Amino acid sequence: MEFFHVCWKIYIVTYSPSRNSSGCYEIWGRSTVVGPDGEVVGKLEHEEGVLTAEIDLSSINHQRQCIPLQQHRRHDIYKLLQVEEQTP
């Protein structure tokens, strides 16, 4: 997941149930929101809670301009194909 975050400069949201030691396996919680620059925007520990974070969509474009990976694509090596879903 870190690969996509670094390359595409996107927000990453991970979630997990709160810690519950009575189940058949242990759950650790730690739901997180990470911004396109790698900054942790919001985080819960292992207790139950609701995580609310402000997502600034303009920061995605700003980070993508700072590291312009899209401009360095090698179209001579590969090309992107648009795949359309076919209905039966």
The answer to whether position 14 is within a domain reads: yes
Q: By the 8 A CB rule, do 31 and 50 touch?
A: no
Evaluate if residue 5 carries a pLDDT over 60. no
Residue 45 in any domain: the answer is yes
The per-residue pLDDT for 12 is: 87
What pLDDT, on a 0 to 100 scale, did the predictor assign at position 65?
A: 78
Residue 37 covered by a domain: yes
**Residue 19 lies inside a defined structural domain of this protein:** yes
Total domains present in the chain: 1
The answer to whether residue 2 scores a pLDDT higher than 70 is: no
Across 5-17, average pLDDT = 75
Q: Tell me, yes or no, whether 49 lies in a domain.
A: yes
Tell me which residue range forms the domain holding 34: 2-72
User: pTM of the predicted model, to two decimals?
Assistant: 0.59
Residue 20 inside a domain? The answer is yes
CA dihedral 34, 58, 83, 68 (to 10 degrees): -90
Residue 81 counted as domain residue: no
pLDDT at residue 82 tops 60: yes
Given a cut of 80, is residue 58 above it in pLDDT? yes
Residue 61: which residues within 8 A CB-CB, separation 6 or more? none
